[in-house]
Amino acid sequence: MKFPQLPVGRYFHWQGERYCKTGPVTAHASDGSRTLIPRSARIEPADPATETNANANPGTGIAHADVEAALAAFTGSLREYAASLEGPQRSALDAHIDAAEQAFRRALSPPGIADSQALQRAGGAARSSAQSTTQRAPSRRRRTCM
């Protein structure tokens, strides 16, 4: 397996040492030192369950079916909540759920199929409405090894 195929936070062996992937080209060694790992490096995952499959998104190790199932579960719970509302609140929330689900599914489409400008407009609208109602979490989080 090449280094970019390993998810962040997973352990692997490279050149006889055990590391934890912390970024696209960085890893922590067992002694705590940070090391740059070439993207072309062939590594051996420490956990066999880390292996990616042919149905996975490139570089993530997550299968499209898993993402679809998680999206369906999430939108299902949102729709249950929307059903408890009445009047214009319910229809507005249903419309937002539909628009967000469509934008997310287009983002999952292979490159060239989705209209990137339409996605940006949909994403910008969703971000602006979300920013007006909630505070955004910090954009940079330090990832730790699992």
The pLDDT assigned to 49 comes to 56
Residue 56 lies in a domain: no
pLDDT for 107 equals 79
Residues 73 and 115 placed together within one structural domain of the fold: yes
pLDDT on residue 84: 93
- Is 55 within a domain? no
17 falls within a domain: yes
The span from the first CA to the last CA of the chain, in angstroms, equals: 19
Same domain? For 43 and 103 the reply is no
Q: Are residues 90 and 39 in the same domain?
A: no
Tens digits of residue pLDDT in 13-38: 999 999 999 998 999 988 888 999 99
Beta bridge partners of 19: 12, 29
Range of the domain at 113: 64-133
Are 129 and 68 in the same domain? yes
146 within domain boundaries: no
What SS3 class is residue 94?
helix
Is there a single domain that holds both residue 83 and residue 29? Answer: no
Contact 106, 71 (CB under 8 A): no
Q: What is the pTM of this model?
A: 0.38
The dihedral built from the CA positions of residue 63, 65, 71 and 77, taken in this order, carries a sign that is negative
Residue 142 lies in a domain: no
Same domain, 78 and 34: no
Any residues with CB less than 8 A from the CB of 125 and at least 6 apart, and which? 99
Asked, for residue 79, whether it belongs to a domain, the answer is: yes
Do 104 and 74 lie in one domain? The reply is yes
Question: Are residues 43 and 72 located together in one domain of the fold?
Answer: no
pLDDT at 40 (0 to 100) = 92
Number of domains in the chain: 2
Residue among 112, 12, 130, 16 nearest 26 (CA): 12
Q: What is the pLDDT of residue 69?
A: 83
Structure tokens at 41: 């490096």
Query: What length does the chain have?
Result: 146
Walking along the chain (146 residues) 10 residues at a time, the average pLDDT comes out as 88 91 90 90 78 46 74 90 91 92 80 47 49 48 57
Residue 26: its pLDDT value, please? 92
CB atoms within 10 A of CB 19: 25
Answer yes or no: is 114 within a domain.
yes
User: What per-residue confidence (pLDDT) applies to 66?
Assistant: 76
Kind of pairing between the strands at 44-45 and 17-21 = unpaired
Domain annotation covers residue 138: no
Give dist(CA 95, CA 14) in Å, integer. Answer: 49
> How much is the CA Rg of the chain, to the nearest whole Å?
20
For residues 81 and 125, state if they share a domain: yes
Say yes or no: 76 and 111 in one domain.
yes
